[in-house]
Structure 1
Amino acid sequence: MDYKSVWGAMEECQRLGLTKSIGVSNFSCKKLENIISIATIPPSVNQVEMNPPWQQQKLREFCKATNVIVTAFSPLGASGTKWGSNHVLDNETLKEIAKAHGKTVAQVCLRWSYEQGAPFVVKSFNKERMKQNLQIFDWELTEEDREKINQIPQRRFMLMEELISPNGPFKTLNDLWDNEL
Structure 2
Amino acid sequence: MAKAPSISLNNGLKMPSFGLGTYKSIGEADSAIKHAIDVGYRHFDTARIYVNEEEVGKAIQGKIKEGVVKREEIFIVTKLWNTDHEPEKVEKACRQSCEKLGLGYIDLYLMHWPVAFKERTPFEYGPRTPDGQYDHADVDYLDTWKAMEKLVDLGLVKSIGISNFNSQQIDRLLDNCRIKPVNNQIECSPQFNQKKLIKYCQDRDITVTAFCPLGKQNPAENKPAFLYDAKLGDVAKKYNKTVPQIVFRYLLEIGTVPIPKSVTPSRIEENISVFDFKLTDDEIKYIDTLNTCERVVPFIESRNDKHFPFGIEF
Distance 1:127 1:156, change over 3 A: same
Greater Cα shift, 113-122 or 103-112? 113-122
Distance 1:156 1:38, change over 3 A: farther
User: How many residue pairs end up in the alignment?
Assistant: 171
User: 1:92 and 1:34 mapped to 2: Cα distance?
Assistant: 43
2:161 corresponds to 1:161: no
The unaligned stretches of length 5 or more in structure 1 are none
Q: Residue 226 of structure 2 contacts residue 290 of structure 2 at CA under 8 Å; is this kept in 1? A: no
Q: Residue 77 of structure 1 contacts residue 88 of structure 1 at CA under 8 Å; is this kept in 2? A: no
Q: Deviations over 1:64-109 (max 9, x none)?
A: 11111011111111426xxxx6344234443332233321111001
The residue number in structure 1 matching 2:176 is 38
AA aligned opposite 2:291: P
Q: Deviations over 1:6-26 (max 9, x none)?
A: 010000111111100000001
Q: Residue 164 of structure 2 contacts residue 184 of structure 2 at CA under 8 Å; is this kept in 1? A: yes
User: 1:37 and 1:59 mapped to 2: Cα distance?
Assistant: 18
Q: In the alignment, which of 170, 176, 179 is matched to residue 309 of structure 2?
A: 176
Q: TM-score, normalised by structure 1?
A: 0.85
The DSSP-based 3-state class of the residue aligned with 1:79 is coil
The DSSP-based 3-state class of the residue aligned with 2:210 is strand
Alignment of 1:124-143 (within 5 A): 124-143=262-281
User: 1:95 and 1:28 mapped to 2: Cα distance?
Assistant: 33
User: 2:258 and 2:311 mapped to 1: Cα distance?
Assistant: 24
User: 2:224 and 2:306 mapped to 1: Cα distance?
Assistant: 31
Greater Cα shift, 97-106 or 8-17? 97-106
Q: Residue 193 of structure 2 contacts residue 291 of structure 2 at CA under 8 Å; is this kept in 1? A: no
The DSSP-based 3-state class of the residue aligned with 1:71 is strand
Q: Residue 198 of structure 2 contacts residue 255 of structure 2 at CA under 8 Å; is this kept in 1? A: no
Alignment of 1:59-70 (within 5 A): 59-70=197-208
User: 2:216 and 2:159 mapped to 1: Cα distance?
Assistant: 26
Query: % of aligned pairs identical?
Result: 32
The residue number in structure 1 matching 2:258 is 120
Distance 1:38 1:4, change over 3 A: same
The DSSP-based 3-state class of the residue aligned with 1:22 is strand
Poorly superposed stretches of 4+, deviation over 2 Å: 85-97, 99-102
The structure richer in strand per residue is 2
Distance 1:27 1:176, change over 3 A: closer
Residue 112 (structure 1) shift: 0.8
The unaligned stretches of length 5 or more in structure 2 are 1-138
User: 1:4 and 1:11 mapped to 2: Cα distance?
Assistant: 11
Q: TM-score, normalised by structure 2?
A: 0.51
2:214 corresponds to 1:76: yes
Larger Rg: 2
User: 1:56 and 1:142 mapped to 2: Cα distance?
Assistant: 20
